[in-house]
Structure 1
């Protein structure tokens, strides 16, 4: 719990400092915001790949996110804004990865059919033991 509190409070402090310092440079502030939010989705993908658990992920939320960032990417191309294009394009790809991992990890796994192993028919007579030339006992089917 203490670790989580440190992460959250550090994030709030970093956000306040960034806004305070970069307030007069909106392009720099927007670029920083774009990279931080895109990075958060990268962290989610890494977390899913490491843990192989997507049960807590909302498919509807990521589908909506994909739709939204696709529109933002198209908007960025339309106004020729590289930070908007780049950040939303990368987030769009990461959303597709999360959706694919969710569908893959939660797919229905069908049980495999057991293959029948062919065996040789059993002989009705018991094997007879014989000594080989080297003196090793061998079984021989009659």
Structure 2
């Protein structure tokens, strides 16, 4: 007979042949009978009970404006107030950002430059390439003609 303590599924497994068969019965003692009576009486009782409450307990109170909504509204207001910078100034800011890192998301560039996303994207389409494949998916990098990654000494 072979015994496999635990298979990959985590269950106990036995492999072999039945040679002898045995039947086991518990002893007819008072302790066994008391245990069975308690088990039968417990199985007749419902597992969940309905309780009548005197006063409703309020666990949460409805909020008119959640923190996430407030953040979104604040960002919209800040975004609406941004005034378009001069094209050359924004171009220099983008080149300066790409000197620090090779890849950027549009949202990160927009936060760095404090300019509207549409305006930043308009300039990025001229000077950068949008990556659609991993490992730099959904990120922008400079076009080869604008890159200069040579080591400066």
Higher relative helix content: 1
Q: TM-score, normalised by structure 1?
A: 0.25
Higher relative contact order (CA 8 A, sep 6+): 1
Quick check: which has more Rg, 1 or 2?
A: 2
Q: TM-score, normalised by structure 2?
A: 0.23
